Chain A
Amino acid sequence: MTRDVPPLDSSRNVANTSRHEIQSVPGEALISLHDVHVGFEDREVLQGISFDVAHGETKVLLGETGTGKTLIMKLAAGLIQPDSGRVLVMGHDVSEMPEKELLHFRRSIGFVFQEGALFDSMTVSDNVSFRLREEAMDETEIEERVREALRFVEMEHALEKFPADLSGGMRRRVSIARALVDRPPVVLYDSPTAGLDPVTSQTIITLILRGRDLQDVTALLATHRVQDAFGLANFRFDKASGHVVALGGNGKSGLAQSLAEREEAADGGRERNPTQPTNVLVLRDGKIYFEAPADELLGTKDEYLKKFLASAE
Chain B
Amino acid sequence: MPEASATSSLTAVLGDVLKRQVAAVQDYTLLTVQAMRCMFSPPYYWLDTLEQMDIVGVGSLPIIIVAGLSIGGVLVLQTAAQFQRFGETALTGDAVSLALVRELGPAVTALLVSGRNASGMASELGSMVVTEQVDAMRALGTDPIRKLMMPRVIATVLMVPLLTVVFDFVGLCGGFLVAYSTLRLGAVQFWTRAINSLDIGDVVQGLTKPVVFGLIIATVGCYCGLRVRGGTQGVGRATTTAVVISSVCALVADFFLSRLLLYLFQ
Q: Which chain A residues lie closer than 8 Å to B138 at the CB level?
A: 79, 102-103, 106
Contact with A along B131-169 (1 / 0, CB 8 A): 111011111111100000000000000000000000000
Closest to B143 in A: A103
Residues of B close to A12: CB separation below 8 A = none
Q: B135 and A79: CB pair below 8 A?
A: yes
Q: Tell me the complex Cα distance, A102–B139, Å.
A: 9
Docked CA distance A251–B210 (Å): 77
- Complex interface: chain A residues within 8 A of B43 (CB): 134
A79 to B132 alpha-carbon distance, docked (Å): 11
Q: Which residues of A contact B141 (CB under 8 A)?
A: 103-107, 131, 134
Chain B residue at smallest Cβ distance from A135 = B141
Residue contact B140 to A120, C-beta cutoff 8 Å: no
Provide the bound-state CA to CA distance between A120 and B135, in Å. 14
Let me know if B140 and A107 touch, CB within 8 A.
yes
* Interface 9-mer from A84-92, A111-119, A270-278: A111-119
Q: State the Cβ distance, B147 to closest chain A Cβ, in Å.
A: 9
Q: What are 8 A-to-B residue pairs whose CB atoms are below 8 Å?
A: A102-B138, A103-B138, A111-B140, A113-B135, A115-B132, A119-B133, A119-B137, A134-B142
Q: A99-B143, A115-B131, A131-B142 are in contact. List 9 more A-B contacts (CB 8 A).
A: A102-B138, A103-B143, A106-B138, A114-B132, A117-B132, A117-B136, A118-B133, A119-B137, A131-B141
Q: Which of B71-117 contact A (CB under 8 A)?
A: none
Contact of B139 among A79, A114, A120, A134 (CB under 8 A): A79
Asked if B133 and A130 make an inter-chain contact with CB atoms under 8 angstroms apart, the answer reads no
A109, B139: Cβ atoms closer than 8 Å? yes
- CB pair B140–A113 under 8 Å, yes or no, is no
Measured CB to CB, the residues of A under 8 A from B are 74, 77, 79, 99-100, 102-107, 109, 111, 113-115, 117-120, 130-131, 134, 178
Q: Give the nearest-CB partner of B134 in chain A.
A: A117
Return the contact of B142 from the options A115, A120, A130 (Cβ within 8 A): A130
Provide the bound-state CA to CA distance between A113 and B135, in Å: 9
Question: Is there an interface contact between A103 and B142, defined as CB atoms closer than 8 Å?
Answer: yes
Instruction: Count chain B residues whose beta carbon lies closer than 8 angstroms to a beta carbon of A.
Output: 14
Find out whether the CB atom of B140 lies under 8 angstroms from the CB atom of A134.
yes
- Which residues of B does A touch, CB under 8 Å? 43, 128, 131-133, 135-143
A99's nearest neighbour on chain B, judged by CB, is: B143
Chain A contact surface mostly: helix
Give the nearest-CB partner of A19 in chain B: B141
Q: Residue B132 contacts which of A113, A130, A178 (CB distance < 8 angstroms)?
A: A113
CA distance A267 to B29 in the complex (A): 61
What distance in Å separates the Cβ of B50 from its nearest Cβ neighbour in chain A? 15
Which residues from chain B contact A105 at a C-beta distance below 8 Å? 141
Q: Are B132 and A106 in contact (CB under 8 A)?
A: no
Q: For the complex, give the distance between the alpha carbons of A294 and B43 in Å.
A: 45
* Centre residue among B43, B132, B137, B141 by max chain A CB count within 10 A: B141
Nearest to A73 among chain B residues (CB) is B139
In the A-B complex, list the 5 residue pairs whose CB atoms are closest, starting with the nearest.
A117-B136, A107-B141, A111-B139, A117-B132, A106-B141
Residues of A contacting B140 with CB < 8 Å? 106-107, 111, 130-131, 134, 178
A134 contacts which chain B residues (CB < 8 A)?
Answer: 43, 140-142
| Least CB distance, A13 to chain B, in whole angstroms | 17
- Residues on B with C-beta less than 8 A from A79 are 135, 138-139
| Minimum C-beta distance from A294 to chain B (A) | 27
A70's closest neighbor in chain B, by CB? B132
Residue of B nearest to A107 (CB): B141
Measured CA separation A74–B134 after assembly (Å)? 13
Is B133 a contact partner of A117 (Cβ separation < 8 A)?
yes
- With a cutoff of 8 Å between Cβ atoms, the chain A residues found around residue B137 in the complex are 119
Report how far A100 CA is from B137 CA in the complex, Å: 13
Alpha-carbon distance A77/B140, docked complex (angstroms) = 10
Min distance, Cβ B237 to any Cβ of chain A, angstroms: 19
Smallest Cβ-Cβ distance to A132: which chain B residue? B140
Give chain A residues whose Cβ lies under 8 Å from the Cβ of B131: 115, 117, 120
Which residue from chain B places its CB closest to the CB of A131 in the assembled complex? B140
- Indicate if the CB atoms of B142 and A111 lie closer than 8 Å: no
Cβ–Cβ < 8 Å partners of A106 in chain B: 138-141
The docked-state distance in angstroms from the alpha carbon of A77 to that of B135 is 10
Query: Cβ of B142 and Cβ of A117 under 8 Å apart?
Result: no
Q: A103-B143, A131-B141, A134-B142 are in contact. Are A111 and B136 (CB under 8 A)?
A: yes
Q: How far is the CA of A255 from the CA of B160 in the complex (A)?
A: 64
CB neighbours of A117 from chain B (8 A): 131-133, 135-136
Q: A107-B141, A130-B142, A134-B142 are in contact. Are A74 and B135 (CB under 8 A)?
A: yes
Interface centre among A107, A114, A118, A134 (most CB of B within 10 A): A134
CA distance A134 to B136 in the complex (A): 14
How far is B131's CA from A109's CA once the two chains are assembled, in angstroms?
A: 20
Residues of B within 8 A of A114 (CB): 132
